[in-house]
Amino acid sequence: MTEQEAIHVADVSEGIGGDATAEPGSPVELPVVDVLTGRSFITGKSGSGKSNTASVVIENLLDNGFPVMIVDTDGEYYGLKEEYEILHAGADDECDIVVSPEHAEKLANLALEQNVPIILDVSGYLEEETANELLLEVVKQLFAKEKRLKKPFLLVVEECHEYIPEGGGMDETGKMLIKVGKRGRKHGLGIVGISQRPADVKKDFITQCDWLCWHRLTWDNDTKVVGRILGSKYASAVEDLGDGEAFLMTDWDESIRRIQFHRKETFDAGATPGLDDFERPELKSVSSDLVGELQSISDEKERRESEIADLRQELEKKDKRIADLERELEEARDLSNMADQFAQALLGKAEAPYRGGSGQSTAAGREGGDGGDRDQSVLKSYDEAVAATEAGDGDATEPETSDAGGDIEVDGDADAVTRGGDADSSIEDAPNDDPPVDDVDPVTRADVAESALRFDDAVELGTREAVIEELRSRIEALPELSQGMLRHYRREGVSDPVAAHIDAGGDGDSGHAYSRHRPIRRAGLIRHAGRGHYAYAVPDLIREAYADRLDEESVREIVRAVETAFVPPAERSYPPDADPATVTGGDVADGDDRTDGEADTPDADSILDGLVENSERADGEGSEGDADGEPAASAEGDRSGPGLSETARRLAERGSIRDE
């Protein structure tokens, strides 16, 4: 191929802009090298013939075996397959192969190295980003390979204003096309831009073109572009051009000619549909080897996507498993906390056994017994009771059992009926030596079973004693001034360390205040309430120890028992926010008369005893006063704790008759 080789694409026509040196109808030829390696712009309104012009140029190049790639934005160039073996690649099923950005390098290889014409149909992609990425990667590969090959090659881009707009907003694809327009010629890579709106195309591209075709334009903005580039007479004449007629401006002969382009010879897929029947011609297919090479890339992509989908599914399963394990771990932590609470309860039970409490309230009932008797298991007593019942011969000669299933006594000098297994009753130990068999009534299986059901109450009793002793020991371990600060928090509810320190008799130095405040906080007796303030936490500690299963009356009883360790007697019956200076040794404001000047608050031992006494007497009456005239430690009104079981009450009544 020499520079004189040309393609015949049009003939000279009459009218303004005609070639004065050539007669109308004279052939118009374009040099192949300038077309393949140059920059061109074809424009005209819809229906004026711009796509026909591009197709005529492409058909002439294909007839002479020159390579070309068409970027088809409307799916109207597949008609070329009627006459030429051209690869139709895109996203539609009618394409020879569905391609993606992964196929870019292979497409460039086919076009440049194997001389395969390609229609890159981007009209079928639902995502504009995918189409732009595909075009960008293909143009990059063409530009890079042409630097090495130096082979004349033409890239035709339809609707180029979408990629290189005049108004800005140009993306990486547009920048790459501009780069091809400016630097592609010296590498052999030419470009043709096609648009129906020249006013919308970046002028840097138009002014760099070697040849331009101006078909019919009617919009003022578009005709003004013609006037600036060709002259004012062409701006008015361009509105009167016929279909397929154009002004051709070329740099190689520095001329402007009015010409009529030939009609394309292949199927016009871009023609406006009419009333005639649409009959699609038989199209040529490309070699199966070419499609096979591209299909292998598609298969590899699908395989990777499938693997990625499988990995994502596995990852989701693992994430779900991790979430399940984290939830199970949290539940295990909750169970661990609950187990710790029960362990504390059992520890309290071991230190303050079921039948003897802490050893303070029932010491009188333990005379003559040793420490091993106090720690005897209640379940063993139940087993003894069952064995005694089964060994009976029917007469009233059952051996006496201890605790829940054994002898239940009524102490005439005591404040309350004592029995085994009741959480709010005082429990007496059985004597070491069993009394004569004739002194007790027979114990039935029902009695033993019901007594066993009361065992939970005994555990509850041990837990309460353990909680009280634990909190009292924490408070008693505090320095005197820190205990005073704790009394301040009890009265105020929420306060700050400096105020508590001053109220307790200290100074206003914050260092001293926080130093004496630290032991209270570490003991957990107060909790941070925000902004440097702390709240009294003893009631909350008690509620948490029982997992919020205690009613408020029971909580208050335990709180009062704990507070005997640091709250003066005269201050206990007053609300936490009362002024301690107003508390006197006279009568208190709870309505009860006192003759000894003490407030109506039992001491710690009384509270502890009250926790193991029954709150509801079988006859609905309260306990009698003790020998010193002080009232017994029992709650007023109804208590939430359980009363005596029917079996224990019956046996207690029988014991009273025997004592009389």
Instruction: Give per-residue pLDDT as tens, 84-139.
Output: 999 999 998 889 999 999 999 999 999 999 999 999 999 999 899 999 999 999 99
Most confident segment among 45-49, 305-309, 347-351: 45-49
- Is 90 exceeded by the pLDDT of residue 609? no
Q: Are strands 68-72 and 245-250 parallel, antiparallel or unpaired?
A: unpaired
* Closest among 193, 188, 227, 226 to 208, alpha carbons compared: 193
* C-alpha triplet 641, 644, 648: angle, nearest 5°: 150
Q: 244-260 pLDDT, tens per residue? A: 999 999 998 888 899 99
Q: 147-190 pLDDT, tens per residue? A: 999 999 999 999 999 999 998 788 999 999 999 999 999 999 99
Residue 202, pLDDT score: 92
Q: Which residues of 558-593 are buried (b: 16+ CB within 10 A; e: fewer)?
A: bbbbbbbbbbebbbbbbeeeeeeeebeeeebeeeee
d(CA 654, CA 649): 9
* Closest among 351, 192, 595, 103 to 359, alpha carbons compared: 351
- Is 60 exceeded by the pLDDT of residue 656? no
Residue 35, pLDDT score: 94
Domain 6-270 has CATH 3.40.50.1010: no
- Is 60 exceeded by the pLDDT of residue 623? no
Helix (H, G, I), strand (E, B) or coil at 181: helix
Q: pTM score > 0.75 for this model? A: no
The neighbour count for residue 397, using CB atoms within 10 Å, is 14
Query: How far, rounded to the nearest angstrom, does the alpha carbon of residue 480 sit from its chain's CA centroid?
Result: 50
E strand or H helix that includes residue 136: helix 128-149
Q: 574-583 pLDDT, tens per residue? A: 555 445 455 4
The percent of residues in the chain predicted with pLDDT above 70, rounded, is: 67
- Is 90 exceeded by the pLDDT of residue 261? yes
Between residues 554 and 650, the one the model is more confident about = 554
Q: 391-405 pLDDT, tens per residue? A: 544 444 444 433 433
Q: Helices 104-112 and 288-351 meet at what angle, rounded to 10? A: 170
- Is 60 exceeded by the pLDDT of residue 385? no
The answer to which of 106-120, 371-385, 413-427 has the lowest mean pLDDT is: 413-427
Through-space distance between the first and last CA atoms of the chain, rounded to whole angstroms: 140
List the domain boundaries for the chain.
6-270, 445-564
Helix (H, G, I), strand (E, B) or coil at 574: coil
- Is 80 exceeded by the pLDDT of residue 320? yes
- Is 80 exceeded by the pLDDT of residue 440? no
> What one-character DSSP code corresponds to residue 31?
E
Residue 204, pLDDT score: 86
Q: 482-499 pLDDT, tens per residue? A: 999 999 999 999 999 999
E strand or H helix that includes residue 463: helix 455-476
The letter for the amino acid at 54 is A
Residue 504, pLDDT score: 93
